[in-house]
Chain A
Amino acid sequence: MTAHDPTLPPRPNSAPIGYAYDEYDRAFVRERVAEFRGQVERRLAGALTEDEFRPFRLMNGLYLQLHAYMLRVAIPYGTLTSRQMRQLAHIADTWDKGYGHFTTRQNLQFNWPRLVDVPDILEALADVDMHAIQTSGNCIRNVTADHFAGVAADEIEDPRPTAEFLRQWSSAHAEFSFLPRKFKIAVTGAEHDRAAVKVHDIGLRVVKNAAGDIGYEVIVGGGLGRTPFIGKLLREFLPRAELLAYLEAILRVYNRFGRRDNKYKARIKILVHETGLDELRAQVEAEFAAMDRAPFAYDSEEFARVAAFFGTAPYDELPERSEAFEKAKADDAAFAAFAAVNVAPHRASGYAIVTVSLKPIGGIPGDATAAQMRALADAADAYGFGELRVSHEQNIILPHVRKDDLHALWRDLDAVGLATANAGLISDIISCPGLDYCALATARSIPIAQAISKRFADLERQRRIGQLGVKISGCINACGHHHVGAIGILGLEKKGVESYQVTLGGDPTLDASIGELIGPGVSAEEVPDVIENLVEFYLAERCEGERFIDTVRRLGHKRFKESARREGEDGSGI
């Protein structure tokens, strides 16, 4: 955590792992809270102007939004203990309005904190080894990872020890605390990419080379926002021992050459685009060759020590097939539907991974009440070694549930409105807060998500439609990932009213693609019709086993575009 805090001895590779902070980390976080408390006091007393104070508050994850301040709390690599979840619920009840918003970057946002209370909130976070540091500003942000880390059946290695090393390296890294722009890193250790590594500034994939050694594929320059780019392959195989030094080299090159004249052109994606991948690679390799790599030397023992904290949970030895589970599915159709959609295979025999959808039909994507947070913490304690995950799809994961317990868990979840069986389906919508909260928004996004969700409320129909990612942003900044939605929706303002552009064919996975516009903007009321037309066209045209995105790719954009227009012949502008 404090590897680069100048007041402490350098400890480049020593990681305090996940949330088991050591005394250095505790002291560091407490110091930061005390420091911010002082800054808030001086601000309230008028000793600091807003221009002076803004950088301080942003460094501590505090924004000013349309109705109130907003505090963004980091959930490193999306892993959370039940105790931490309960503390988030406590904060929501005590200082906020009884709920929180889980975001696509594995953060939690509180929408109503008062400035005067923020130091106390940060103190409460520190009590459970959490903080809001580097969740804003032009620094290396919360490092995200596959939410199935450590339990996915298709995993080469748990990405979290790597993410933790990066967290260590990037936290309070003095040289990189004023980058040209924000910098986001995601890590996956599995075949299937659930971390959207190709749309991050740096995406890392754990890979094995021919000799069987573990290393990383390094992808650089991905990003969404106003100019979306798919990340490009910088290094096919980076030995683990060189990871920190190599990333240091990339960041140095970016820090030196990244544009600072125009914030819309300041992300590394623009540097990669303007410099060219080969030239940038040469610059990175030159820096890597010339730099003093000693401070970033790899300590395999330290890595092993860190990895041990993410080691295997104390699983029982169970048969792969659970009779109780099979019987419950046979007896209870609603549970069977949940099991088919929200339950994923686990690497340990007799266990499963459960996705708890924060997308009830007609609800606000990613929002959870304090009562729901507590219920999730209780469920994690009762059925899953007290561990939870936050996914970039804005859902919660219970990573280790015995198949024997699935039915009981489902009933508990259902009791608090958390059993919606729609993971990955059309109503599992990613949506940013949009103009309901966000000061940068040009239009609302949540009501659009709600309208689509209600239009497709029938879960049976959703299952027939199958996997389909709808993603909505309330402005060009693209926090709702609309560029990589199979159906993407971007809210804009046109002639004084909210207007929505629909894109088609985006994909956040390793086959990453950016969606293309299907036509001029439509009104909020028209959006569900447009989506329905697209979906009906897909259902009519799809081949056996094709997902929506597959059919879009096979038939091409143009045919779909025509289908979306169908209802618009009367000139209604679709």
Chain B
Amino acid sequence: MAALRHPQIVIASDLAQGDVVVLGAAGWERDHLRAKIAYDGEAAAALKAAADAEVAANRVVDAYLVDVAIAADGAPTPLHFREQFRFAGPSVRPDLGKQAERREGDGR
């Protein structure tokens, strides 16, 4: 299997809502902790192919692979700050975006 320098996940924008989603085992998820993680080239290619099919099926827009680091608890964190912001929301408005929903949800 072709090794990846970093594990990868797929991120996209939901067509109808416009918010950020990740591809999970059972489809698109709002919570990036539920993202399906690819550890090798084949798995990443399969993830991307599945995402492209979803783009073609007009459920999401602009799907792409993102390099992540995996924390001890298994949570994927994007390596690039751009995607870190996409998973959080505007850094200047902690009351908005996913960071706010997360706080409201389970205190994480």
- Report which of B17, B55, B62, B92 forms a contact with A436, defined as CB distance below 8 A: B92
Interface residues of B in 72-96 (CB under 8 A from A): 80-82, 85-86, 89-93, 96
Interface 1/0 per residue, A48-65 and B, CB below 8 Å: 111000000000000011
Least distance between A44 CB and chain B CB atoms (Å): 6
Complex Cα distance, B15 from A435, in Å, reads 21
List residues of chain B with CB within 8 A of the CB of A447. Answer: 91-92
Complex Cα distance, B47 from A432, in Å, reads 35
Query: Is B2 close to A, CB under 8 A?
Result: no
Task: With CB as the reference atom, state the residue of chain A lying closest to B62.
Answer: A64
Complex Cα distance, B18 from A43, in Å, reads 13
Does the CB pair B61–A64 fall under 8 Å?
A: yes
List residues of chain B with CB within 8 A of the CB of A68. Answer: 17-19
- Report which of A48, A112, A116, A436 forms a contact with B91, defined as CB distance below 8 A: A436
Complex Cα distance, B89 from A418, in Å, reads 26
Query: Is B41 close to A, CB under 8 A?
Result: no
Does the CB pair A64–B18 fall under 8 Å?
A: yes
Which of A67, A97, A114, A447 gathers most chain B CB within 10 Å? A67
Query: Is A498 close to B, CB under 8 A?
Result: yes
Query: Is A450 close to B, CB under 8 A?
Result: yes
Q: Main secondary structure on chain A at its contact with chain B?
A: loop
Does the CB pair A115–B15 fall under 8 Å?
A: yes
List residues of chain A with CB within 8 A of the CB of B81. Answer: 435, 496-498
Query: Is B16 close to A, CB under 8 A?
Result: yes
Query: Is A19 close to B, CB under 8 A?
Result: no
Query: Is A364 close to B, CB under 8 A?
Result: yes
Interface 1/0 per residue, A25-54 and B, CB below 8 Å: 000000000000000000110101110000
Query: Is A446 close to B, CB under 8 A?
Result: yes
Query: Is B57 close to A, CB under 8 A?
Result: yes
List residues of chain B with CB within 8 A of the CB of A43. Answer: 15, 58
List residues of chain A with CB within 8 A of the CB of B38. Answer: none
List residues of chain B with CB within 8 A of the CB of A374. Answer: none
Query: Is B8 close to A, CB under 8 A?
Result: no
List residues of chain A with CB within 8 A of the CB of B98. Answer: 67
Least distance between B1 CB and chain A CB atoms (Å): 27
Interface 1/0 per residue, B27-65 and A, CB below 8 Å: 000000000000000000000000000011110011000
List residues of chain B with CB within 8 A of the CB of A435. Answer: 81-82, 85
Least distance between B64 CB and chain A CB atoms (Å): 12
Query: Is A119 close to B, CB under 8 A?
Result: no
Task: With CB as the reference atom, state the residue of chain B lying closest to A40.
Answer: B16
Which of B16, B18, B20, B62 gathers most chain A CB within 10 Å? B18
Q: Main secondary structure on chain B at its contact with chain A?
A: loop
Query: Is A169 close to B, CB under 8 A?
Result: no
Does the CB pair B15–A44 fall under 8 Å?
A: yes
Complex Cα distance, B81 from A18, in Å, reads 43
Least distance between A164 CB and chain B CB atoms (Å): 34
Does the CB pair A364–B85 fall under 8 Å?
A: no
Task: Say whether, besides A67-B97, A436-B90, A46 and B18 are in contact (CB < 8 Å).
Answer: no
Query: Is A69 close to B, CB under 8 A?
Result: yes
Query: Is A113 close to B, CB under 8 A?
Result: yes
Does the CB pair A50–B18 fall under 8 Å?
A: no
Complex Cα distance, B92 from A202, in Å, reads 35
Least distance between B21 CB and chain A CB atoms (Å): 12
List residues of chain A with CB within 8 A of the CB of B93. Answer: 364, 436
List residues of chain B with CB within 8 A of the CB of A114. Answer: 16-18
Does the CB pair A46–B16 fall under 8 Å?
A: no
Complex Cα distance, B97 from A111, in Å, reads 11
Task: With CB as the reference atom, state the residue of chain A lying closest to B96.
Answer: A97
List residues of chain A with CB within 8 A of the CB of B19. Answer: 67-68
Task: With CB as the reference atom, state the residue of chain B lying closest to A445.
Answer: B92
Complex Cα distance, B92 from A446, in Å, reads 7
Task: Say whether, besides A114-B16, A115-B18, A66 and B85 are in contact (CB < 8 Å).
Answer: yes
20 additional A-B pairs beyond A66-B82, A67-B89, beta carbons within 8 Å, are: A44-B15, A66-B20, A66-B85, A68-B19, A97-B96, A113-B18, A114-B16, A115-B16, A115-B18, A435-B85, A436-B85, A437-B90, A441-B82, A446-B90, A446-B92, A447-B91, A447-B92, A496-B81, A497-B81, A498-B81
Q: Closest 9 CB pairs between A and B?
A: A69-B18, A436-B90, A46-B58, A68-B18, A446-B92, A114-B17, A116-B16, A436-B92, A50-B61
28 A-B pairs in the complex with CB atoms less than 8 angstroms apart = A44-B15, A44-B16, A46-B57, A46-B58, A48-B58, A49-B56, A50-B61, A64-B61, A64-B62, A66-B85, A66-B86, A67-B86, A67-B90, A68-B17, A69-B18, A97-B96, A112-B18, A116-B17, A364-B92, A435-B85, A436-B91, A441-B82, A444-B91, A446-B90, A450-B92, A496-B80, A497-B81, A498-B81
Which residues does A use to contact B, with CB under 8 Å?
Answer: 43-44, 46, 48-50, 64-69, 97, 111-116, 364, 435-437, 441, 444, 446-447, 450, 496-498
